[in-house]
Structure 1
Amino acid sequence: MIKKLFVFLLPWALRRRLLNAWFGYEIHPKARIGFAWIYPKKLVMKEKARIAHFTVAIHLDYVELGCYASIGRKNWITGFPTSGTSQHFAHQRGSRRSELFLGEHSAITKNHHIDCTNRITIGRFVTIAGYQSQLLTHSINIEECRQDSYPIYIGDYCFIGTNSVILGGAKLPPYSILGAKSLLNKAFEQQFALYAGVPAAFVKPVNSEAKFFTRQTGYVI
């Protein structure tokens, strides 16, 4: 903890070097972390990846940001690492990893809660927009009376509307839109679709030629 606090207070150029040297991270020279507490067991940040101020990422096995991927301000990203002797998720030993993968040019905006007790995979050119969305991979299994977890998958070129909830086991197919304030609690397969509601359901097809689905840079002006 003392070493983490010491590194946290250093200027970024020196902090990056020490994070790589002392913690075994792989942070590209052109990647950057703001005034944020980012300490998973393993961190990989590729060229131009960014994590903004006041974001926290702890209790994670692994975090990877692709080229130009970004995590905005005040996000809370946490999990339950697979090491240790806790009986929580003991039935998933060997099959569960507390991981976040954020693909190239994808963005998590600000004030979201990302629970990576199980793996969360977010594809390329994805936008988790607005505020206060929750991605929750774990909950209580009522039948078995124990904590349980399932991964979340979000495909390439998806748009997640503000204040949405995505639960473990959910899948949003590539080239899809999840409407604001929706609850995604199952796996869907149809691409180029709008899903919305509580719980979310297929609403209608979306234009496969929409510019959002063909853009070459993640940032939307």
Structure 2
Amino acid sequence: MTSPRARLAGLCWLLPPCRAKNALLTRLGHRVHPSARLGICVMLDVGEVVVGADTIIGHGNVFRGLRAVRIGVEAILGQFNWFSRAPTLTLPDDDLAGSLVMDDHTVITSRHYVDCSGGLWMGRFATIAGVRSTVLSHTIDLGLGRQGIRPVRLLEKVFVGSNTTMMPGTTAASGAVFAAGSVTALDGDYAAGTLHGGVPAKPIKPIDGAYFHRTRTWATE
């Protein structure tokens, strides 16, 4: 059952961006840096919320039933994304399960769907770009006839192109790139510094460029 404090925090998320909103959420038990910009979002039955300095969260995002939302400094979360977990699953005593964790300088653009049942972890400077990508972190074992969770981990400076599907258990090493429309394999393990594409996604060629050497969330020149 949702506590009165959690319901009040949910109402605070419906306020426009301002320092008073950040202060209210902090007084209600979350940790929101005064310089963060929090858009008008729906936050239902979410436990811990941590938002770092100079992070931007756009309008229209929905967070539902999550154990935790932890976002580092100078991260960007666009508009109209959906983050939830399967309510029927029992979560293990695992810090990532049921959680969205975005390290410093990470980016999720707009209109993506993220299943956080097993958890999504994004390392520094990792990006889910474009629109309509799907991250899945729970699956059904057809042999055993039961559901299970598998976290998705995107290491530093991973780039996910538009309309990509990340299957449960995906692990992408630093600098891995996924072409638009890719579908990763269940429990897939993807190499560093490599462009992957196709269904299921397979290595295409080594890749490098300015994106992988940034020191800011977005290059300005």
For 2:78 and 2:148, how far apart are their aligned partners in 1?
Answer: 29
For 2:116 and 2:19, how far apart are their aligned partners in 1?
Answer: 28
Match of residue 161 from structure 1: 161
Match of residue 215 from structure 2: 216
Q: Deviation at 1:10? A: 3.6
* 1:159-198, Cα deviation, whole Å (9 max, x unpaired): 1010000011111110111011000123325211011110
Is the counterpart of residue 14 in structure 1 residue 13 in structure 2?
no
Match of residue 39 from structure 2: 34
Q: Are the structure 2 counterparts of residues 180 and 189 from structure 1 closer, same or farther at C-alpha, using a change threshold of 3 Å?
A: closer
For 1:102 and 1:35, how far apart are their aligned partners in 2?
Answer: 19
Match of residue 54 from structure 2: 48
Letter in 2 for 1:98: G
For 2:15 and 2:78, how far apart are their aligned partners in 1?
Answer: 20
Q: Are the structure 2 counterparts of residues 99 and 7 from structure 1 closer, same or farther at C-alpha, using a change threshold of 3 Å?
A: same
Unaligned runs of 5+ in 2: none
Match of residue 196 from structure 1: 197
CA contact (8 A) 2:43 2:62 kept: yes
The Cα RMSD (Å) is 1.9
Q: Deviation at 1:15? A: 1.9
For 1:5 and 1:150, how far apart are their aligned partners in 2?
Answer: 28
Q: Are the structure 2 counterparts of residues 47 and 8 from structure 1 closer, same or farther at C-alpha, using a change threshold of 3 Å?
A: closer
Is the counterpart of residue 139 in structure 1 residue 128 in structure 2?
no
Match of residue 84 from structure 1: none
Q: Are the structure 2 counterparts of residues 152 and 8 from structure 1 closer, same or farther at C-alpha, using a change threshold of 3 Å?
A: closer
Letter in 2 for 1:99: S
For 2:79 and 2:23, how far apart are their aligned partners in 1?
Answer: 23
CA contact (8 A) 2:99 2:116 kept: yes
Letter in 2 for 1:60: L
Match of residue 93 from structure 2: 94
State the aligned residue count: 211
Q: Deviation at 1:77? A: 0.8
Matches within 5 A, 1:36-185: 36-39=41-44, 40-80=46-86, 88-90=88-90, 93-95=92-94, 97-185=97-185
Three-state SS of the structure 2 residue aligned to 1:15 is helix
Unaligned runs of 5+ in 1: 82-87
Q: Deviation at 1:66? A: 0.9
For 2:66 and 2:10, how far apart are their aligned partners in 1?
Answer: 18
Which of 3, 8, 13 is 1:3 aligned to? 8
Q: Which aligned runs of 4 or more in structure 1 are off by greater than 4 angstroms?
A: none
Match of residue 85 from structure 1: none
Match of residue 25 from structure 1: 30
TM-score normalized with structure 1 length: 0.88
CA contact (8 A) 1:126 1:218 kept: no
What percent identity do the matched residue pairs reach? 28
Q: Are the structure 2 counterparts of residues 220 and 184 from structure 1 closer, same or farther at C-alpha, using a change threshold of 3 Å?
A: farther
